[in-house]
């Protein structure tokens, strides 16, 4: 059976028109003769959406009961039996009702696709799994329902339904998305222009990356290795040398010439590690790549040119930028064409730019004669040649015969190879010349003469020299590899030690400075800012004398200077030091960013509270103020004559509205006192009855409105009577509101764990675990669906008041459904002291 095709309509936010676009496409397919069924559509009461369903076959929903509440959802079994050609399934990320075959709606869609049914569905960007946390950081609103990215990647078509932010806000203000009671809050929070702009860009970027991934998958499946210039991709090869900055800027200019051009920087690490790489330069170039809007990549390969070309082809690059070789002309002449020529030959259709730079080799220079061997090994090789040569000559002369010439030649050749292995090329050449002369003088007729009568003798001397050069070259290369490996090992061990020190809790800068001093055997090390301030000093070493001069000062970017006291550093040590300075620079940058984030954090929180306050005040204070103003204005009007009953009703309305307004202002003042830490608290020993009855009277709750479970003798606990009454009023009001017409809330008093507990239990819908902490924050109303619930300060005030009295307010699930608010207070007899007075209370 052929698997069905999935078509997804993706939107940046609710209300952009995803469902309408899906229904419009369904209408078009139905008019073309296709069998289309509306499996499930969530209209949310929008008349325009409901009108678009007309004319299409609608599958009846499946009904389930959960905790006595009827729920309807997609009837998957009936849809599979109906087996239409196309099924319209709205809200792909929806969580199914308990008792259905699958937990998520996208799993139902997978079953439909497996059955060969084509599906059209909708999803918002906040429901994409990989973007869920990003959207939460943008909007501040968590979303629990998500769709795995892989489900969307397998879709045959993903179509963005786009709407400009201002147009979307206009639809929202016109009542086309939410009911009128939710419009103000939505405009002030989720549907702000900045949020919508960011979500819109995030949606388009995700789709662009998905299109690019699909293109790469197609190329891989079809075995296409040629470049496809869907957009300009410029790869810049970095060696870690100073020319990298020039190459990156040239590559950025090439990429900017085409719309949507992309810059990729790549550094190829070969088996020789950091031998040809300056870590500080590479770190600076990596930062420059980010500033230019590109991406940095690092690959490993034995052949730099092959690895570079393979990366460029894998990235579907259209341009490749490399620098002119830094080798001298003689080195290029002796060692061949180099990486540039190889890249050009292997690059195929990729355009290669070879950029000149200041570090390019231009002088005629001789190769370094010393090689990688130390001078001690070269001296030792010369000593072995000077001592072993005469000893070998004495032995061979003593046993010389007419047939021994072959053995004599091989013995001298062995001596040349041994000397080459020890001392390299120059001692080996010395041994070759001396052995050739000695062989001719002592062992070849006529003996005791240096007459070379045959051309073969010249050949023997040349062979000696060639053997010496070849063997010494191998030894030199092995020494270079050994030195590079040792250097890389030392660098890795040093960085691992520094990282271990930081993980064990040591300050990062302190660890870097201390390990620097230890690694190079210095007397002292310290880090100063560019303004001269002391940032860090290694305190593990004895202090240097006051007259000590710091011979080495290493700049750390533009932020600091590392001062080192002790011996001078060799060139190899400075390369390792560059690795450490790059780490120090990164640590300083992280500290600056962390300090900036710490400064911005409180401002952001204050702005959030201020925004929430303005939104709440603008919406919730307007209603009672408008009602009171209207009532008083009507009573004062001379144009209208009211009956006594009408006057009484208007006065009652004005009184209720002013009372509501007074309560809201009181809550705001209480919240501000809690936030400022100046709430006055007077603790005294009380019993539960002292506050429960006044709280019930204030709320007007009678025996049928609440169940009381009080012990025969209530425990004595420390509390502020006024504040505790406010706590109970807020919690009981919430419990009564959410219990509705069901079971009345329960107020119980008990003794648990040495503390007195007051439990307010309701049988309402409850609160998800991930929202329990959020509802205790100011200006939070669960779901933001009820605009008659005040400012959303009740729970936050209750928490602040309880903590001010030294107690705790926690929210628990009621067995069987609902919410239980637990107020835990200290027993009077367990208190160390009886507190009576005022104290400041920190913000909850």
Q: What is the pLDDT of residues 205-220, one digit of tens each?
A: 777 666 555 555 555 5
Tens-digit pLDDT profile for residues 348-358: 878 888 887 76
Tens-digit pLDDT profile for residues 616-668: 555 456 666 777 777 777 777 777 777 888 778 878 887 877 776 676 666 55
Quick one: residue 705, left, alpha or beta (phi over 0 = left, psi -120 to 50 = alpha)?
Answer: alpha
pLDDT of residue 365: 40
User: With 0-12 CB in 10 A as exposed, 13-18 as middle and 19+ as buried, what is 335?
Assistant: exposed
Tens-digit pLDDT profile for residues 760-806: 888 888 888 777 776 776 555 554 444 444 445 667 777 877 887 88
Round to whole Å and give the CA distance between 81 and 78.
Answer: 5
CB 117 within 8 A of CB 85: yes
pLDDT of residue 808: 87
Cβ count within 10 A of residue 836 = 12
Q: DSSP string of 135-204?
A: HHHHHS------B-HHHHHT-SEEEE----HHHHHHHHHTTSSS-HHHHHHHHHTTT-HHHHHHHHHHHH
Tens-digit pLDDT profile for residues 126-184: 888 888 778 888 887 887 788 988 888 888 888 989 888 888 888 888 777 877 666 76
pLDDT of residue 843: 37
* Closest to 426 in 3D by CA, of 382, 463, 459: 382
* Closest to 10 in 3D by CA, of 215, 188, 210: 210
Q: Considering only 363-367, 418-422, 501-505, which range has the smallest mean pLDDT?
A: 363-367
Round to whole Å and give the CA distance between 303 and 297.
Answer: 17
572/837: higher pLDDT: 572
Round to whole Å and give the CA distance between 578 and 584.
Answer: 10
Cβ count within 10 A of residue 705 = 14
pLDDT category of residue 8 using cuts at 50, 70 and 90: very high
Q: How many H helices and E strands in the chain?
A: 25, 24
Residue 726 has pLDDT above 70, yes or no: yes
Kindly report the length of the chain.
844
Tens-digit pLDDT profile for residues 62-94: 887 766 667 788 889 999 999 999 999 999 998
729-761 burial, b for 16+ CB within 10 Å, e for fewer? bbbbbbbbebbeeeebbbbbbbeeeebbbbbbb
pLDDT category of residue 9 using cuts at 50, 70 and 90: very high
- The residue-averaged pLDDT of 366-391 equals 75
Q: Considering only 359-363, 701-705, 728-732, which range has the smallest mean pLDDT?
A: 359-363
* Closest to 285 in 3D by CA, of 326, 235, 249, 335: 249
CB 10 within 8 A of CB 161: yes
Round to whole Å and give the CA distance between 27 and 39.
Answer: 14
Q: Is 821 helix (H, G, I), strand (E, B) or coil?
A: strand
Tens-digit pLDDT profile for residues 173-195: 877 787 766 676 677 778 888 88
pLDDT category of residue 362 using cuts at 50, 70 and 90: very low
Contacts 24+ apart (CB under 8 A), 69-75: 71/97, 71/98, 72/97, 73/40, 73/97, 73/100, 74/39, 74/40, 74/100, 74/105, 74/108
Round to whole Å and give the CA distance between 639 and 370.
Answer: 112
pLDDT category of residue 692 using cuts at 50, 70 and 90: confident
Question: Any bridge partners for residue 89, and if so which?
Answer: 40, 121
Q: DSSP string of 519-547?
A: HHT-SEEEEEETTS-EEEE-TTSPPPPTT
- 329 CB contacts (<8 Å, ≥6 apart)? 361, 362, 363, 364
Q: DSSP string of 593-648?
A: HHHHHHHHHHHHHHHHHHHHHHHHHHHHTHHHHHHHHHHHHHHH-SS----HHHHH
Residue 423 has pLDDT above 50, yes or no: yes
pLDDT of residue 493: 62
* Closest to 316 in 3D by CA, of 409, 253, 225, 416: 225
- pLDDT-above-90 percentage for the chain: 10
pLDDT of residue 498: 58
Domains of the chain: 6-222 (3.40.50.300), 233-355 (3.40.50.620), 375-479 (no CATH), 506-595 (3.30.450.30), 622-675 (no CATH), 677-826 (3.30.565.10)
Residue 249 has pLDDT above 80, yes or no: yes
Highest-confidence segment of 228-232, 568-572, 738-742, 744-748: 744-748
- pLDDT-above-70 percentage for the chain: 72
- 625 CB contacts (<8 Å, ≥6 apart)? 657, 661
User: And the tokens for 59?
Assistant: 């599958």
- The residue-averaged pLDDT of 390-416 equals 83
pLDDT category of residue 272 using cuts at 50, 70 and 90: very low
Residue 28 has pLDDT above 90, yes or no: yes
Residue 111 has pLDDT above 90, yes or no: yes
- The residue-averaged pLDDT of 428-452 equals 77
Between β-strands 319-323 and 233-238, what pairing exists: parallel, antiparallel or unpaired?
parallel
Residue 690 has pLDDT above 70, yes or no: yes
pLDDT category of residue 682 using cuts at 50, 70 and 90: confident
811/403: higher pLDDT: 811
The phi, psi pair for 407, rounded to 5°, reads: -65, -35
Cβ count within 10 A of residue 145 = 17
pLDDT of residue 770: 75
611/387: higher pLDDT: 387
The phi, psi pair for 623, rounded to 5°, reads: -65, -55
Q: Is 106 helix (H, G, I), strand (E, B) or coil?
A: helix
Residue 678 has pLDDT above 50, yes or no: no
pLDDT category of residue 363 using cuts at 50, 70 and 90: very low
Q: Is 374 helix (H, G, I), strand (E, B) or coil?
A: coil
* Closest to 80 in 3D by CA, of 127, 116, 131, 105: 116
- 460 CB contacts (<8 Å, ≥6 apart)? 409, 436, 439
* Closest to 497 in 3D by CA, of 579, 593, 552: 579
* Closest to 750 in 3D by CA, of 779, 788, 708: 708
Q: Considering only 193-197, 289-293, 426-430, 788-792, which range has the smallest mean pLDDT?
A: 788-792
CA distance readout (Å), 812 to 21, 818, 819, 821, 822:
43, 9, 6, 6, 8
User: And the tokens for 695?
Assistant: 């709280």
Mean pLDDT computed over every residue of the chain? 76
Question: Any bridge partners for residue 66, and if so which?
Answer: 69
pLDDT category of residue 608 using cuts at 50, 70 and 90: low
pLDDT of residue 486: 65
The phi, psi pair for 807, rounded to 5°, reads: -110, -170
Cα first-last separation, the chain: 60
- The residue-averaged pLDDT of 287-301 equals 82
- The residue-averaged pLDDT of 548-570 equals 75
492/671: higher pLDDT: 492
Round to whole Å and give the CA distance between 619 and 629.
Answer: 16
* Closest to 748 in 3D by CA, of 821, 841, 666: 821
Q: In what order do the strands lie in the sheet with 560-565?
A: 534-537, 524-529, 560-565, 552-556
Round to whole Å and give the CA distance between 546 and 658.
Answer: 76
Residue 505 has pLDDT above 50, yes or no: no
* Closest to 94 in 3D by CA, of 58, 143, 140, 53: 143
């Amino acid at each position: 059976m052929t698997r069905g095709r999935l078509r997804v309509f993706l939107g940046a936010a609710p209300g952009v028109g995803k469902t309408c676009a899906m229904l419009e496409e369904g209408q078009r397919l139905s008019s073309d003769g296709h069998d289309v069924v509306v499996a499930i559509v969530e209209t949310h009461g929008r008349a325009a959406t409901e009108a678009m369903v007309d004319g299409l076959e609608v599958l009846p929903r499946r009904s389930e009961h959960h905790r006595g509440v009827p729920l309807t959802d997609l009837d998957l079994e009936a849809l599979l039996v109906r087996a239409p050609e196309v099924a319209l399934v709205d809200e792909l990320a929806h969580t199914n009702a308990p008792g259905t075959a699958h937990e998520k709606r996208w799993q139902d869609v997978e079953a439909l696709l497996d059955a060969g049914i084509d599906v059209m569905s909708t999803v918002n960007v906040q429901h994409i799994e990989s973007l869920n946390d990003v959207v939460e950081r943008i909007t501040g609103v968590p979303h629990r329902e998500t769709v795995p990215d892989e489900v969307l990647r397998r879709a045959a078509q993903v179509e963005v339904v786009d709407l400009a932010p201002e147009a979307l806000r206009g639809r929202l203000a016109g009542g086309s998305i939410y009911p009128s009671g939710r419009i103000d809050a939505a405009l002030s929070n989720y549907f702000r222009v900045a949020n919508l702009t960011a979500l819109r860009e995030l949606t388009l970027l995700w789709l662009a990356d998905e299109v690019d991934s699909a293109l790469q998958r197609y190329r891989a499946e079809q075995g296409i290795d040629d470049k496809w210039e869907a957009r300009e991709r410029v790869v810049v090869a970095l060696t870690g040398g100073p020319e990298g900055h020039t190459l990156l800027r040239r590559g950025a200019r090439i990429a900017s010439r085409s719309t949507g051009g992309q810059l990729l920087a790549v550094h190829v690490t070969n088996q020789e590690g950091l031998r040809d790489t300056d870590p500080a330069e590479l770190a600076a170039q990596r930062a420059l790549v980010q500033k230019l809007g590109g991406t940095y990549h690092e690959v490993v390969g034995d052949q730099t040119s092959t690895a570079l070309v393979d990366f460029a082809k894998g990235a579907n690059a259209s341009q490749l930028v490399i620098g002119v070789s830094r080798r001298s002309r003689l080195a290029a002449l002796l060692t061949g064409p180099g990486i540039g020529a190889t890249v050009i030959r292997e690059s195929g259709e990729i355009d290669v730019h070879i950029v000149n730079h200041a570090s390019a080799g231009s002088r005629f220079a001789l190769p370094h004669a010393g090689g990688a061997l130390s001078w001690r090994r070269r001296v030792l090789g010369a000593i072995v040649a000077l001592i072993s040569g005469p000893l070998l000559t004495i032995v061979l002369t003593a046993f010389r015969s007419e047939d021994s010439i072959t053995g004599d030649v091989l013995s001298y050749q062995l001596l040349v190879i041994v000397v080459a292995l020890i001392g390299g090329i120059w001692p080996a050449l010395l041994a070759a010349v001396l052995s050739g002369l000695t062989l001719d003088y002592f062992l070849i007729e006529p003996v005791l003469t240096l007459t070379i009568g045959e051309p073969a003798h010249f050949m023997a001397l040349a062979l000696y020299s060639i053997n010496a050069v070849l063997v010494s070259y191998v030894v030199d290369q092995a020494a270079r590899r050994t030195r590079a490996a040792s250097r890389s090992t030392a660098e890795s061990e040093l960085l691992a030690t520094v990282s271990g020190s930081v993980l064990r809790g040591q300050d990062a800068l302190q660890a870097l400075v201390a390990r620097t001093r230890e690694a190079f055997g210095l007397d002292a090390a310290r880090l100063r800012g560019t303004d001269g301030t002391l940032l860090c000093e290694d305190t593990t070493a004895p202090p240097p004398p006051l007259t000590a001069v710091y011979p080495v000062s290493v700049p750390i970017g533009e932020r600091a200077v590392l001062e080192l006291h002790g011996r001078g550093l060799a060139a190899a040590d400075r390369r390792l030091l560059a690795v450490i300075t790059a780490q120090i620079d990164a640590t300083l940058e992280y500290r600056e960013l962390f300090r900036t984030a710490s400064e911005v954090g409180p401002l952001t929180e204050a702005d959030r509270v201020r925004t929430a306050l303005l939104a709440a005040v603008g919406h919730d204070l307007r209603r009672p103020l408008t009602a009171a103003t209207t009532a008083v204005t009507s009573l004062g009007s001379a144009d209208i004559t009211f009956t006594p009953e009408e006057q009484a009703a208007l006065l009652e309305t004005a009184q209720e509205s002013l009372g509501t307004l007074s309560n809201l202002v009181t809550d705001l003042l209480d919240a501000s006192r809690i936030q400022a830490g100046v709430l006055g608290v007077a603790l005294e020993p009380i019993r539960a009855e002292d506050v429960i009855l006044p709280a019930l009277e204030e709320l007007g709750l009678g025996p049928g409105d609440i169940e009381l479970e009080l012990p025969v003798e209530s425990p004595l606990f420390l509390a502020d009577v006024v504040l505790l009454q406010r706590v109970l009023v807020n919690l009981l009001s919430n419990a009564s509101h959410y219990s509705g017409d069901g079971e009345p809330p329960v107020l119980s008093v008990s003794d648990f764990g040495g503390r007195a507990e007051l439990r307010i239990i309701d049988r309402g819908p409850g609160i998800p675990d991930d929202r329990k902490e959020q509802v205790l924050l100011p200006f939070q109303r669960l779901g933001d669906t009820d605009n008659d619930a005040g400012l959303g300060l009740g729970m936050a005030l209750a928490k602040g008041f309880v903590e001010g009295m030294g107690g705790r307010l926690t929210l628990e699930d009621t067995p069987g459904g609902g919410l239980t608010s637990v107020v835990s207070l200290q027993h009077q007899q367990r208190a160390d002291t009886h507190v009576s007075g005022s104290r400041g209370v920190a913000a909850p």
